[in-house]
């Protein structure tokens, strides 16, 4: 079967640039939306030009010009959107509704992967405000996709290693602490950690796979299902240094959110659901989902001991 042609929207972002590379590496004709809104952002322009050198096609388009989105979509079989949905950067999830309209109008898309790549929003109805805004908005986009009868795959990629592993899941650091580490509760709640390049690899694997059509693809490779305490122990073994462990009870963690600004409250709410409630692992994958490492055992995903070695 011929490989699908792919359009990446948000290709200069943290996950988007990896999706572009994975698409090219797996042999897909790859288009990247070059939005006029980048203006004088020369780093984004250079990144786009680097994609072009690697064989990607740049296609002009703008969320303020609906016809340009339609024309871009008509060039491909698969659309992958990776625009930001985190409060500390930019929170643009609902912009995808314009993309949904463009896909509906174009009428040719065989698969749409919207900007998800985190927790499964369908399991987060109970989420704390203000962080629940992320999940509520993703569900609005999902409803629009399904109402338009657009074929989809939702990717639940859990915790990005860059943000959660290097700093041993501390809120304020991306590199390992030197002396002491805060544990959320007893530190034994199971979490799923993913190397971001592996997230992209699995996502691209899924786009032509009938097994993932109109389903959620959960990235839960078994050796990356770890507790925070296990993550700390991996680092201690690698570094040869024991860290002082300070346990934070759940009620103290929630109390510390009071008085914080909107962005920090949103982030801490997500941490609470992940590390106290276990929202990434406290449910079984049902008939409307598939697990990525089961479907694609040929992918040699990065284990977290390997990931942490760069910090030695």
Q: Which residues are catalytic?
A: 138
Cα–Cα distance measured from residue 2 to residue 269, given in angstroms and rounded to the nearest whole number: 44
Angle in degrees, 0-180, between the axes of helices 196-206 and 16-25, rounded to the nearest 10: 50
Where does 209-294 show beta strands of DSSP type E? 215-218, 225-227, 244-248, 289-291
Strands 6-9 and 78-81: parallel
Handedness of CA 62, 67, 68, 72 (dihedral sign): positive
Residue with tokens 């590496």: 25
Please, what is the angle between helix 262-272 and helix 132-147, to 10°?
A: 80
β-partners of residue 59 are 33
CA distance 263 to 266: 5
């Amino acid at each position: 079967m011929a490989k699908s042609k792919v359009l990446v929207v948000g290709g200069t972002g943290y996950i988007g640039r990896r999706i572009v590379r994975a698409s090219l590496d797996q042999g897909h004709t790859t288009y990247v939306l070059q939005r006029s809104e980048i203006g004088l952002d020369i780093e984004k322009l250079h990144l786009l030009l680097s994609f072009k050198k690697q064989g990607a096609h740049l296609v002009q388009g703008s969320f303020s010009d609906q016809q340009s989105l339609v024309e871009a979509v008509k060039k491909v079989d698969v659309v992958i959107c990776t625009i930001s949905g985190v409060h500390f950067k930019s929170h643009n999830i609902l912009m995808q509704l314009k993309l949904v309209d463009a896909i509906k109008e174009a009428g040719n898309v065989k698969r749409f992967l919207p900007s998800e790549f985190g927790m499964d929003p369908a399991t987060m109805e109970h989420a704390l405000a203000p962080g629940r805004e992320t999940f509520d908005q993703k569900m609005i986009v999902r409803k629009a996709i399904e109402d338009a009868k657009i074929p989809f795959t939702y990717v639940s990629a859990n915790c990005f290693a860059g943000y959660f592993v290097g700093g041993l899941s501390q809120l304020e650091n991306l590199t390992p602490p030197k002396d002491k580490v805060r544990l959320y509760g007893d530190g034994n709640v199971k979490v799923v950690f993913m190397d971001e390049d592996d997230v992209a690899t699995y996502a691209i694997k899924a786009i032509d796979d009938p097994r993932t059509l109109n389903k959620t693809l959960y990235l839960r490779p078994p050796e990356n299902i770890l507790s925070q305490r296990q993550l700390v122990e991996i680092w201690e073994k690698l570094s040869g240094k024991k860290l002082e462990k300070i346990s934070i009870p759940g009620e103290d963690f929630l109390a510390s959110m009071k008085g914080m600004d909107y962005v920090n409250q949103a982030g801490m709410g997500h941490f609470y659901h992940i590390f106290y409630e276990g929202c990434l692992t406290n449910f079984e994958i049902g008939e409307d989902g598939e697990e990525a490492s089961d479907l694609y055992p040929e992918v040699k995903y990065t284990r977290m001991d390997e990931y942490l070695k760069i910090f030695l």
